[in-house]
Amino acid sequence: MRLSGKTAVVTAAAQGIGRATAERFRDEGARVFALDRDAAALQAIEGVEHIVVDLLDPSEIAALPATIGDIDILANVAGFVAAGDILQGSDDDW
C-alpha cells in the first residue's frame, strides 16, 4: 500500500472524478477525508471519513483544519465557473 500512513483530502468526493480519487487513495492505504455537500452520496463511499461541507462558505472551510489535522495529499476536485475571464474575477469568485 503506497499511501499507508498518509492523510488525503478529496473535495467533490460524492461522485465522478472526486469519488474515484477518494476510493483509489483509500485502496492505496491512505486515511481519506471525503468532502462534499451531498451527504447521502458521501455515505455510499465506504472506508473513508465523510465531511459534509459547502466549499463556497468560508466559515465552513475555516473549520476544516480542526477536524482533519495535518494533510499529506490534497485533491481539490471541486470546481466553480464564474462569468468573465480570470482577470475580471474577484476574491469572492475564488
Q: Where are the domains of the chain?
A: 7-78
**Cβ proximity of 35 and 13 under 8 Å:** yes
> Looking at residues 11-24, what average pLDDT do you find?
97
For residue 9, give the nearest of 61, 79, 71 by alpha carbon.
Answer: 71
Listed residue (78, 81, 80, 94) closest to 19, CA to CA? 78
The helix (run of H) or strand (run of E) holding residue 10 is strand 7-10
CATH number of 7-78: 3.40.50.720
Residue with more model confidence, 77 or 94: 77
Indicate the pTM of the whole model: 0.85
**Tell me: the pLDDT tens digits for 51-63?**
999 998 999 999 9
